């Protein structure tokens, strides 16, 4: 789960009364993860790609999922610091991924379980969250991934994010050290955030 911004970029305080919120499309429902999702969160975080491209603890057990729900999800919504949603297929109660939006840097981050990939769920989830952030007054939304995460880059491109350059990740690697990352941004006014091209290496069929 990614460009710096001042605290003034946070959602207006007047919106706090409506938080947390549920976001929905035809294919996906986003709501708040709870302790009932512990087993699904643990299962998703066993995936090698989730472990490789995020900073979830390794090994990941039920205690980590409970801490995630209790210490990050709830307090994040309450403080307007970080809004975290469970990704569920429409009509299902099963958590199959997580997506979050952090107000300080106005950035998004996400992961999806292998069983839910390739179905457009993450595309819908990202579009819902970005649109919601714009509705709260955010002038833009940032994204980053560690270099080599082709799946995440593909999702960001498809969602209209403009590549803004390569550089150290705002979110350090699991060891706390600097990690090379791709950065992109999408503006609320629809104007391109950059005239840079996405690097060839960010495409699945790069040579």
pLDDT number for residue 205: 59
Q: Residues 99, 108: contact at Cβ < 8 Å? A: yes
Q: Residues 20, 77: contact at Cβ < 8 Å? A: yes
pTM above 0.85, yes or no: yes
Max distance between CA atoms of the chain, in angstroms, equals: 50
Cα distance between residue 42 and residue 19, in whole Å: 26
* Half-sphere exposure for 141 (CA within 13 Å, toward CB): 25
pLDDT number for residue 18: 53
Cα distance between residue 71 and residue 67, in whole Å: 5
Radius of gyration, alpha carbons of the chain: 16
Stretches in the chain below the pLDDT threshold 70: 1-18, 205-207
The shares of helix, strand and coil residues in the chain, as percent rounded to the nearest 5, are 35, 25, 40
Per-residue pLDDT tens digits for 118-165: 999 999 999 999 999 999 999 999 999 999 999 999 999 999 999 999
Per-residue pLDDT tens digits for 22-31: 999 999 999 9
Q: 3-state class of 102 per DSSP?
A: strand
């Amino acid at each position: 789960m990614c460009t710096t911004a001042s605290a003034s970029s946070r959602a207006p305080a007047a919106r706090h009364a409506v938080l947390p919120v549920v976001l929905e499309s035809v294919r996906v429902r986003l709501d708040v993860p709870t302790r009932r999702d512990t087993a699904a969160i643990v299962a998703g975080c066993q995936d090698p790609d989730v472990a490789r491209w995020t900073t979830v603890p390794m090994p990941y057990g039920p205690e980590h999922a409970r801490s995630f729900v209790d210490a990050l999800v709830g307090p994040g919504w309450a403080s307007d610091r970080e809004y975290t949603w469970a990704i569920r297929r429409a009509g299902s109660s099963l958590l199959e991924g997580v997506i979050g939006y952090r107000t300080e840097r106005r950035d998004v981050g996400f992961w999806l379980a292998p069983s839910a990939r390739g179905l457009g769920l993450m595309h819908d989830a990202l579009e819902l969250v970005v649109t919601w952030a714009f509705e709260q007054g955010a002038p833009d939304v940032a994204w980053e991934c560690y270099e080599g995460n082709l799946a995440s880059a593909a999702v960001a491109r498809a969602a209209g994010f403009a590549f803004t350059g390569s550089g150290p990740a705002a979110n350090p690697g699991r060891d706390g050290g600097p990690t090379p990352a791709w950065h992109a941004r999408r503006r609320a006014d629809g104007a391109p955030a950059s005239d840079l091209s996405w690097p060839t290496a960010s495409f699945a069929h790069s040579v």
